[in-house]
Structure 1
Amino acid sequence: MYLRPFDPWKAKLCTCPFKYTLNVYTGCDHACLYCYITSYIPRAFRVRTKEGLLPKLERELRKFDRRYIVALSYSSDPYPAVERELGITRRVLELFRRHNVRCLLLTKSDIFERDLDVLSELSCAVGITVTTVDETKARLLEPNAPSPMNRIRALRKARDAGIPVYARIDPIIPFYTWEDFDKTLNALKFVSHITVSTLKLRADIRKRMEAKFPALMETLNSLYKRGERIGGYRYLPRGLRFQILREAEKRINNAGITFGSCREGYHSYPSCDGSHLVPP
């Protein structure tokens, strides 16, 4: 089955409403230092196609309960660089259009701009992840992803095409991306909903971060040692974490945007993931 109920690691802090998820590709070539998929996808930063995806997916869609949303994608970005040539995600979207499937799309790419003609005919919402609008910091954190401003430009075009749009500012990294939060938020003031989450460390993530940011990680490691261990991850201390989330929520709400948090034990309204934006 390619369509699967979304159940992220059975995380006790996950507040996602019930939905399905589809990963068009296996692996993601953005190679973000903080990426969690390296814990369960072999050669996670190498993108592979899935044999027989389109005909098998169409058979599944014939029986799919259209009350539910399909999210693209939470383990592998639906728009890796190779999508420009292969167009597999575009063909998936065309299947969704044919079968009246509701879709929640999330990407760290600007390639989706090519597919606005299809997306504008779907019951969908489109979102991007922007960790920071500082291009230098973004390139260090997300070495192969398109620039943040290119993503934002493409998302604005989606909004102008009448598509509901949202964003994730994720992860918030103390002493690094948190310093740019106001600038990042200001660049995203046209969206309807923003989801945030703080950096969560696991051994493989810590190793990549320490190799690129040794001084920063020396400071962060001392913080995370005092934090909670939840679901295999080390979290920031709860007091500091909630302080950051409260401040992020205040700034987002003051911009007239609804707020969500992801796997934080903190509240969201009206949804954590932006799924409330998908038209019925």
Structure 2
Amino acid sequence: MPITPPPRGRGTASNPHNRFAPRHSQAEDDGWSQDVPPSRLTEVRAEAAKSIITRNQSPDLPFDRSINPYRGCEHGCIYCYARPSHAYWDLSPGIDFETRLIAKTNAASLLEQQLSRRGYVCAPIALGTNTDPYQPIEREQRLTRQILEVLLRLRHPLTIVTKGALILRDLDLLTALARQRLVSVHISLTSLDDELKRILEPRAAAPAARLRTIRVLHEQGIPVGVLCAPMIPMINDSELEHLLEAAKDAGAQSAAYMFVRLPHEVAPLFEQWLQAHYPQRAEHVLSLIRQSRGGELYDSRFGSRMRGQGAFAELLARRFALASKRLGLQHREAFELDCSRFCPPGGQLALL
């Protein structure tokens, strides 16, 4: 069966049923219908969220709370482990995830309410853990900026992970936060190859733009690191040392990496992508992933889901450790943020 290429600027042409759908339908060609190409238009639906801070107890993550102002992500990264989350809203993890987006329009006001609750204990909030806070729709929605304004006013620390150069629009807020040790940023850098970026992360910023973002953040005194994620065998793993070197040259102070994760519906979408773009090496790529995941395409166990196991994963970890040490790059968690400045809504700010 031929693989349908994605519309230009999208990661996939497929829109598989989500795993929670009570019934599935299958289209059959009766000779009368005409093929309708998948929509490439972005639809944004407003949502009044009931809660904005998400908690986790994962030992694999360097934070215990996060905020995602958007559901779905227009960047369209084919490997995105967050794609299956779209199934919770009866949408497909396929092209729906890239085109049918949800904006939590009350995010900033809801955040202020939650931070004012009695008994709230301050700890850094992570932005960009499920979908990118600086995806293209942030240009009009400005939800991430509104969140930054609340956190700056209340002196609450945060961390940001993004592959969007749009973050530079908020330099005024980020520099103000950085002066009080309230923010650190990690720029996700997957490849230095523009063509690979185009098919792997269609609407994300170009590699040169991400390196420029690291450089500008560093020059403005904002703690910035690089996140090499995901590392995919036989696709971009050979670039690991080059990614770290380029990021270091641009001003990155810390680094982290992750092995590719293919939970639930992501695995078949990624397989389709391989067959469309790398048919001759597809089986080799999948074989190396299985070797690093105990014979499966995904392993959800804590301790191994971010790094993998086996010879290939161990070699990747060793390469990262050696290159980071040689370049003087610290661990991602090295940036220490100040929680002592937090002043909840209605609280008394310190005079000094």
TM surpasses 0.5: yes
The equivalent residue for 1:44 is 97
Deviations 1:158-195 (A, max 9, x none): 11111100110011112221122232122101211111
Q: Give the 4+ runs in structure 1 shifted more than 4 A.
A: 232-237
> Partner of 1:40: helix, strand, or coil?
helix
- Higher alpha-carbon deviation: 74-83 or 50-59: 50-59
Q: 1:162 aligns with which of 192, 210, 221?
A: 221
Q: 1:255 aligns with which of 314, 327, 347?
A: 327
Given that 2:168 and 2:213 are in contact with CA atoms closer than 8 Å, whether structure 1 keeps it comes out as yes
> Partner of 2:315: helix, strand, or coil?
helix
> TM-score, normalization: structure 1?
0.86
Closer, same or farther: CA 235–252 of 1 in aligned 2, 3 Å: closer
Whether 1:113 and 2:182 are equivalent positions in the alignment is no
Distance 2:128 2:56 in 1: 10
Q: 1:222 aligns with which of 287, 306, 327?
A: 287
The equivalent residue for 2:142 is 87
Whether 1:244 and 2:316 are equivalent positions in the alignment is yes
> Partner of 1:100: helix, strand, or coil?
coil
Given that 2:125 and 2:157 are in contact with CA atoms closer than 8 Å, whether structure 1 keeps it comes out as yes
1:221 CA drift (Å): 2.0
> Partner of 1:279: helix, strand, or coil?
coil
> Partner of 2:228: helix, strand, or coil?
strand
Given that 2:83 and 2:265 are in contact with CA atoms closer than 8 Å, whether structure 1 keeps it comes out as yes
1:225 CA drift (Å): 3.5
Question: Rg larger in 1 or in 2?
Answer: 2
Q: 1:173 aligns with which of 211, 220, 232?
A: 232
Distance 1:47 1:165 in 2: 28
Given that 1:104 and 1:275 are in contact with CA atoms closer than 8 Å, whether structure 2 keeps it comes out as no
1:28 CA drift (Å): 0.8
Q: 1:205 aligns with which of 237, 252, 266?
A: 266
Given that 2:187 and 2:210 are in contact with CA atoms closer than 8 Å, whether structure 1 keeps it comes out as yes
Structure 1 runs not aligned, ≥5 long: 260-273
Deviations 1:99-148 (A, max 9, x none): 11101011110000010110111110011101111111111110111112
Distance 2:65 2:159 in 1: 10
The equivalent residue for 2:115 is 61
Whether 1:71 and 2:71 are equivalent positions in the alignment is no
Distance 2:211 2:336 in 1: 20
Distance 1:90 1:20 in 2: 19
The equivalent residue for 1:153 is 212
- Higher alpha-carbon deviation: 179-188 or 23-32: 179-188
Whether 1:15 and 2:60 are equivalent positions in the alignment is yes
The equivalent residue for 2:154 is 99
Distance 2:185 2:307 in 1: 28
- Code of the residue aligned with 2:247 in structure 1: it is L
Total equivalences in the alignment: 261
> Partner of 1:113: helix, strand, or coil?
helix
> Partner of 1:188: helix, strand, or coil?
helix
- Higher alpha-carbon deviation: 122-131 or 64-73: 64-73
Whether 1:3 and 2:75 are equivalent positions in the alignment is no
> Partner of 2:102: helix, strand, or coil?
coil
1:234 CA drift (Å): 11
Closer, same or farther: CA 134–54 of 1 in aligned 2, 3 Å: same
> TM-score, normalization: structure 2?
0.69
> Partner of 1:169: helix, strand, or coil?
strand
Whether 1:31 and 2:76 are equivalent positions in the alignment is yes
- Code of the residue aligned with 1:279 in structure 2: it is L
1:98 CA drift (Å): 0.6
- Aligned-residue RMSD, C-alpha: 2.2
The equivalent residue for 2:31 is none
The equivalent residue for 1:262 is none
Distance 1:56 1:67 in 2: 16
The equivalent residue for 1:188 is 247
Given that 2:127 and 2:160 are in contact with CA atoms closer than 8 Å, whether structure 1 keeps it comes out as yes
- Higher alpha-carbon deviation: 174-183 or 149-158: 174-183
> Partner of 2:160: helix, strand, or coil?
strand
| Percent identity (aligned) | 26
